[in-house]
């Protein structure tokens, strides 16, 4: 079946530090991959997505590249801000099947 594994949190960084949140997946066929973000007190919203191998999704300075050879979709940002403090969820969607979410990684950025 389909599954998503994320690095365990919480992750605490200082402002302007480099961020990587690892995400790997197991799936048959050609799933689409997503990162969702949940800011404190808010609902989940899409951060970025990639629909085929080698695609790079990007938004708000965040990037993730769909790597089929390593079944990964790691989230990166070169310089985090306090406002990036949130919970980040990696997810996949496969043809005709339900979305699968990872457990979430809580990021705290300190000034």
Partner 1 sequence: GAGVSQSPSNKVTEKGKDVELRCDPISGHTALYWYRQSLGQGLEFLIYFQGNSAPDKSGLPSDRFSAERTGGSVSTLTIQRTQQEDSAVYLCASSLNLLSPSDEQFFGPGTRLTVL
Binding stretches for partner 1 (CB under 8 A): 30-32, 34, 36, 43-46, 49, 51, 89, 91, 93-104
Distance, in Å, from the CA atom of 31 to the CA atom of 12, rounded to the nearest integer, reads 30
H or E stretch at 107: strand 105-110
Residue linked to tokens 């079944």: 71
Residue linked to tokens 């043809």: 95
- Minimum distance from residue 51 beta carbon to partner 1 (Å): 4
- Minimum distance from residue 64 beta carbon to partner 1 (Å): 14
Task: Select from 46, 50, 23 the least CA-distant residue to 36.
Answer: 46
- Minimum distance from residue 79 beta carbon to partner 1 (Å): 26
Nearer to partner 1 (CB atom), residue 18 or residue 30:
30
């Amino acid at each position: 079946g389909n599954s998503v594994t994320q690095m365990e949190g919480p992750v605490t960084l200082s402002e302007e530090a480099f961020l990587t949140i690892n995400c790997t997946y197991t799936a048959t066929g050609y799933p689409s991959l997503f990162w969702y973000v949940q800011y404190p007190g808010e609902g989940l919203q899409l951060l970025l997505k990639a629909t085929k191998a080698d695609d790079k999704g990007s938004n708000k300075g965040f990037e993730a590249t769909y790597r089929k050879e390593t079944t990964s979709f790691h989230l990166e940002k070169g310089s985090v801000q306090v406002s990036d403090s949130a919970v980040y969820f990696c997810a996949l969607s496969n043809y005709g099947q339900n979305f699968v979410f990872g457990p979430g990684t809580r990021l705290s950025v300190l000034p």
